[in-house]
Structure 1
Amino acid sequence: MPSTQSSSTSSNFPSPSVNRSKSRILKISLFATGLAGIVAEYVLSTLATYFLGDSVFQWTMIVSLMLFSMGLGSRLSSFFQKDLLQKFILVEFTLSILCGFSALLAYLASGYTLYTGLIIYGLCMSIGLLIGLEIPLVIRVNDTFESLRINVASVMEKDYFGSLLGGIFFAFVGLPYLGLTYTPFVLAFVNFTVAIVLLLMLWQYLSAFNRKLLGSIGGAVGAVLLSGLIFAKPIILFGEQQRYRDKVVFEQQSRYQKIVLTQWKNDYWLYINGNQQLSTVDEVLYHEPLVHPAMTLAPNPKQVLVLGGGDGCAVREILKYPSVEDITLVDLDPAMTDLGKENSVLLNLNDSALYHPKVSIYNQDAYTFLEQTSQYFDVVIIDLPDPKSVDLNRLYTEEFYRLAYRHLRERGVFITQAGSPYFATRAFRCIDKTVAAAGFQTARLHNQIVTMGEWGWILGVKSSTTVNVKSQLQQLTFNHVSTQWLNQEAMQMMTTFGKNIYGLPLDSVEVNQIHNPVLYQYYLKGNWDWY
C-alpha cells in the first residue's frame, strides 16, 4: 500500500531490481552506526570526567543529554520528506567530522579557555542530535523493503546489537590501547565507511549534480579525517601541554586514568587525571609520614600491604626495615605500576623498589583484593587518590576500613592518606570518624608539603585494649631507620593541630558508608561552605 514515506524513498530506487540485499546493507550500516554512537557517548563521558571531574555526574549528564538530543533528532527527522537516503549519508559525513575531532577540540579548548565543558556538552548534544536522525531515516528508507512489523524490529535490533559491540570495543580495545587520541577517529571512519558504502549503492540513481555534490563532500571529509589522524598525536600533546605549567615529558591514557609526567629543570611532577600525585622536589615530605610512623609503631612488622602507591616510593621506604619479609602492593592500574618499574625518572626515585624480591604486585581493585585475600598483615598503608568520585569514595568507606581491620593482626597499624585537613576539613574529619567507626583507635597527622600544600593522614591501631595513639606517636624516634626529614621533633609537630579554626566539631560530619557516600561530596565542596 503506498504511503508518503515509501513514495518519498522510492524515488531513490526506481529500478524493480532493488531487493533484500539493499535492506541488509541498510541494517548492517545501522549496526555500525550503533557501535559508533555508543562509543561516542563513552568518549565524551571520559573527556568530561578528565577535564571536569566527578565521573558519576559527568557520565550521568553526558548520557542523559545525548539521549535527550537523540529524541530531538528523531523529532527533527519527521520534517524530512524526500531524498532520505541522501540525507542519511550527509548525517554520516557530519558525524564523521564531529566524532573524529571531539577529543582534539576538547584538548585545544582546555588550553585556551575555562569553558571546556561547554565544548564537550555542545559536542554531546550535536552528536546526539545527528544520531537521533539515523534510526528514523533508516526505518523510513527500509519501509520500501520490509513490512512495518519486521522493519522496526530488525532495524532496532541491529542498532542495539551494535551498541553492545561498541561497549566491548571501548572497554577492551579503544580506551586501553588507542586512548582518546585515536578512538574518536575509529568512530569517524566507521561513520565515513557507512556513508561511502551507501553512496556507492545509491550512485546509479543520483542525478549528475547530486553525484558531484556528495562525491565532493565525501572526498573533503576523507581528506580532513586523514589529516586529523596524522596530526592527532601532536595536537593532543599541544593541548595537554597547555594544561600544565611545566614541560610534559610523558603522557598515557590508560583504561582507568590519564597519567602525565612533567619536568622543570631537574625536577619532575606526576599527575593522575590532572591532579598532582608527587614531585621529586618534596615527595619525602609525603612518603616518610605515610610510611614510618606506621612501620615504627607496629611491633616487628613482617607482612605489609600497600593499597595504591604504584609509583613505588612507599615501597622504597618500607624496604628500609630489615624485619619486613613480604610487601604486597595492590594497584588497580597496570599502567601505573609499569611506569614505576620502567620509567627512568620513577626508577631513580623509588630505587627500583618494585623489582625487589620481597615485593609482590597485584593489579586489582583494592576492595576486591581485601574481600578475597586470606592473608594477614602487620601494617596496611593506603596511598590512593583523593575521594573525588563515587568509585574512589568506596575505598574510603567504613566497609572498606573494616575489611582492612579484619586482615590486620592484633596491634597491627593502619594508615591512609586523607587529603588536606585545612582546605578540605570536613572531608578530613569524615575520614577520621569513618576509620574510628571501623574499630581502629585513631590519631591525626599533618605536614606541609611544599608543592601540594598542607596534607593529612589518619593512622589507626588495632588493639583490644585502649591506647593513646597520639601520645605513642609523639614518643617515636627514628634512629633505627634512614630518613631525610622525619624525626621525633617532626612527629611532635605532625600530631599537633592547634585550635579548630573552622569551629567544626567531629559530630558535624557523618560516617562514610557505601550506602551513604557523603565523603566525596564533602571533598568536592572543600571549605567553601564556611567562607
Structure 2
Amino acid sequence: MEPVQEYIDRRRMFFIIVSLFAVSACAMSYEYFLGAMASYLLGDGTVQWALTITAMMVAMGLGGFGSRFVVHHEKTVLTNEVLIAVVGGFSAFTQYAVNVYLGPNQVITLAYIFANGFILGFQVPLFMHISRKNGRSFGQTVAEVTLFDFLGAVPAVALYIYLLKSVGLVRGSMFVGLVNLATVALGLVLFRRELSRRYHRCLQAVTLAVLALLLLGLGFGDRLALGLEARLYRDQVIHVEQTAFQRLVLTRRGQDLRLYLDGNLQFSSVDEFRYHESLVHPAMGLVPAREKVLILGGGDGLAAREVFKYPDVGRVTLVDIDPAVVALARTYPLIASLNRGSLEDPRLQVVNMDAYKFLEQDAGRYDIIIVDLPDPNNESLAKLYTVEFYRLIKNHLTAAGAMAVQATSPYFAPQVFWTVGETMEAAGLEVLPYHAYVPSFGDWGFVLGAQYRPSPEKLRLAVPTRYLTLDLLPRLFAFSADELAGREGAEVNSIVHPVILDLYQKAWENW
C-alpha cells in the first residue's frame, strides 16, 4: 500500500503546485483586466487601482475565513476553478455591458473585483488542507503554498500585458478563463478515482459547457464589444482598436468624422480646423523664424497640417507615444484626407515616445513647440501639465521661439485652464492665455508661452485659414468675467503636488 499512497501523494502535490500557480496567475490577471476596465469606464486610474487592490485584499481575507467551513477540499477546489473561469472569464465583458446599459457604476465594478478576490482567498487554505494530507508539516505547507501563490503574480502580469496588446480587455479575460478550465481538467484526471462518479460526470459536463461559452465569447467577443461600444456613441462606429496605450474609436455621421481616445473626443471633422488653427497659428505668427518645429502629441496629423502651411518650415518633429494613432491617421483614408497627407511630408520626423522622456533625452532647440496633448484626465497625462514638464519645454525653446498648449476649457473647467497658465509662469515662461469657440468642444482655451512677453499686437496671419482672421485675432485674448473668476483657484501643478487631476475631475462632474 505504501507505493500506492506515495503515488497518490505525488499526484496531490503536483496538482497543488500547478493549480495554485495557475489560480493565482489567473486571479491576478482578472484583477488587472478589471482595474484597466474600471479606469477606462470610470476614469481616475489612481483611485480605481487603489480600490481594486483594496477590494481584492479584503475579499481574499473573507474568502480565506469562509474556507474553514469546507469539508471536501478537492471537490471544492475544482468547483471553485470552474466558478472563477465563469466569473473571471466574462468579467470584463459583463462589466462593460452593465456600464453601457446602466451607466458608470462603481459598485458593480467593485463587486466583480470582490468576487475574484474572494474565490482566490477561498482557494489558498484549501490547497493547504490538501497539502497537509500528504503528510507535510504545518511549516512546510505554509511555506510552499505561499511561495507558489505569490509566484503566480509573475505570469499574471506577463499574461495581462500580452493579451491586452493582442486581443484587448474583453477577449483577454476569456483567454484567461481557458487556463482555469485547464487546471480543472488536470484535477479531473488526477483525482478521477478519489471523486465520486456522479460528481466527476457533473463537473465534466459543467466544464465542457463553460468551455463552449468561452470559445463562443472568443469567437464573437469583438462583435459583441463593438455592438456595446456603439451604444456609447450617438454616431455609427466605423473603427475600433485597442492599442497598448488606449482605445481608439472612430465614428461617422454624414460628413462628421470623430476620433475618440479612451472615450474622450479628440476631434470632429466638421470643426476641427477651428481648434487646430487656434492652437498653431498664434505661436507661428509670433516668431520671426520657423525653421524647427516640435509637436508634442498631435498624432492625427492635423496640427502638422497647419504647420506645413508655412513655406519656411524646415523640419518638424512629431512626438506621439502611440504608434497606432499615427498609423491610423496615415492609412485611414478619411483621416489622411483631413490632414492632407501631413504625416507623409518628407520634412516630418515621427518619434513614438513619451513626450516627457523625449524632452529629457533630446538636446535640440526649436523655434516653435506645439503641445497638442489630451486633457489631464489621468496621472500619466497630468504629468504633462506640470511645472517640471514646462521647464523642459522652456529649455528646448530658442530665445525668439514660442510655444502653444491646449489648456482645456476656460468656461467648463476654468480653474484647470488658469492652473495651466499659472504652472507655465512658475516654469519661468511669459504667458498669454486665449480661447476660441469650437462647437464640438465648446469654449476652448490655449496658452501662448515664450521667454519674452508675447504681445497680441505682434501676431501676424501669413497663411490661408478657414476660421482665423486678422479682425478675430485680438478677440481671442478677451475673457468674460465668469471665466476670469477661475483665476482665483489657480495653483501650480507639479509632479509632487498634482492638483490639476482633481481640479479637472471636479470641473467636468457637472457637465
Q: What TM-score comes out, normalization by structure 1 length? A: 0.92
Counterpart for residue 400 of structure 1:
389
Q: Does 1:510 align with 2:491?
A: yes
Partner of 2:403: 414
* 2:31 equivalent among 24, 41, 62: 41
Pair 1:119-2:108 in alignment: yes
Aligned to 1:52: 42
Contact preservation (8 Å) 2:304, 2:342: yes
Distance 1:219 1:505 in 2: 63
Query: How many residues are aligned here?
Result: 508
Q: Distance in 1 between matches of 2:170 and 2:101?
A: 19
Are 2:114 and 1:131 equivalent residues in the alignment?
Answer: no
Q: Is the partner of 1:503 in helix, strand or coil?
A: helix
Give the fraction of aligned pairs with identical amino acids, expressed as a percent: 34
Please point out which of 235, 251, 273 is paired with 2:262.
273
Q: List aligned pairs for 1:433-472, cutoff 5 A.
A: 433-463=422-452, 467=453, 469=454, 472=455
Letter in 1 for 2:256: D
User: Within 1, Cα distance between the matches of 2:509 and 2:266?
Assistant: 23
Partner residue in 1 for 2:326: 337
Contact 2:286/2:460, CA 8 A, preserved across alignment:
no
Q: 8 Å contact 1:291–1:314 — kept in the other structure?
A: yes
Paired letter, 1:484: R
5+ residue gaps in structure 1?
Answer: 1-12
User: Do the aligned partners of 2:75 and 2:195 also contact (CA within 8 Å) in 1?
Assistant: no
Q: Given the alignment, which residue of 462, 465, 473 partners 1:483?
A: 465
Contact 1:108 1:235 in 2 (8 A): no
Residue 377 of structure 1: how far off its partner (Å): 0.6
**Contact 2:410–2:483 (8 Å) recurs in 1:** no
- Native 8 Å contact 1:421 1:428 kept in 2: yes
1:110 and 1:242 in contact (8 A); partners too? no
Counterpart residue type for residue 430 of structure 1: T
The aligned runs of 1:488-499 (5 Å cut-off) are 488-499=470-481
> Structure 2 vs 1, CA of residues 401 and 182 (structure 1 numbering), >3 Å: closer, same or farther?
same
Bigger shift: 511-520 or 198-207? 198-207
Contact 1:106–1:116 (8 Å) recurs in 2? no
Offset from partner CA, 1:368-387 (integer Å, 9 cap, x none)? 11011111111111111111
Letter of the 2:74 partner, please give it: L
Q: Structure 1 347/236 Cα, relative in aligned 2: closer, same or farther at 3 Å?
A: same
For the 8 Å contact 1:135–1:155, the answer to whether it is kept is yes
- Indicate the residue corresponding to 1:326 in structure 2: 315
Secondary structure of 1:203 counterpart: coil
Match of residue 99 from structure 2: 110
Offset of 1:477 from its aligned partner? 3.3
Does residue 1:19 correspond to 2:9, yes or no?
Answer: yes
Who is 2:501 aligned against?
Answer: 520
Normalising to structure 2: TM-score of the pair?
0.96
The list of structure 1 runs, each at least 4 consecutive aligned residues, that deviate by more than 6 angstroms after superposition, is none
> Could you list the per-position Cα deviations for residues 108-167 of structure 1 after superposition, in whole angstroms to 9, with x for gaps in the alignment?
223321254333221111111111112111111111223322222222222222211211
Q: Which residue of 1 aligns with 2:79?
A: 90
Select the residue among 48, 59, 64 that pairs with 1:74. Answer: 64
Counterpart for residue 168 of structure 2:
179
CA contact (8 A) 1:475 1:488 kept: no
Provide the secondary structure at the position in 1 that maps to 2:485.
coil
CA RMSD of aligned residues (A): 1.8
Residue aligned with 2:471, SS = helix
The residue type paired with residue 64 of structure 2 is S
Name the CA distance, whole Å, in 1 between partners of 2:374 and 2:5. Answer: 64
Do the aligned residues in 2 keep the contact of 1:426 with 1:527 (CA within 8 Å)?
A: no
Q: Residues of 2 paired with 1:218 and 1:405: CA distance?
A: 61
CA–CA separation in structure 1 for the residues paired with 2:297 and 2:345:
17
Amino acid at match of 1:201: L
Distance in 2 between the 1:516 and 1:110 partners? 32
Secondary structure (helix, strand or coil) at the match of 1:488 reads coil
CA change 1:528–1:24 in 2 (3 A) is closer
Give the whole-Å Cα distance in 2 for the aligned partners of 1:131 and 1:195.
Answer: 15
Report deviation, 1:527. 7.4
Within 1, Cα distance between the matches of 2:118 and 2:35? 16
Moved more, 241-250 or 97-106: 97-106
- Tell me the distance in 1 between the aligned counterparts of 2:410 and 2:483: 11
Paired residue for 1:473?
456
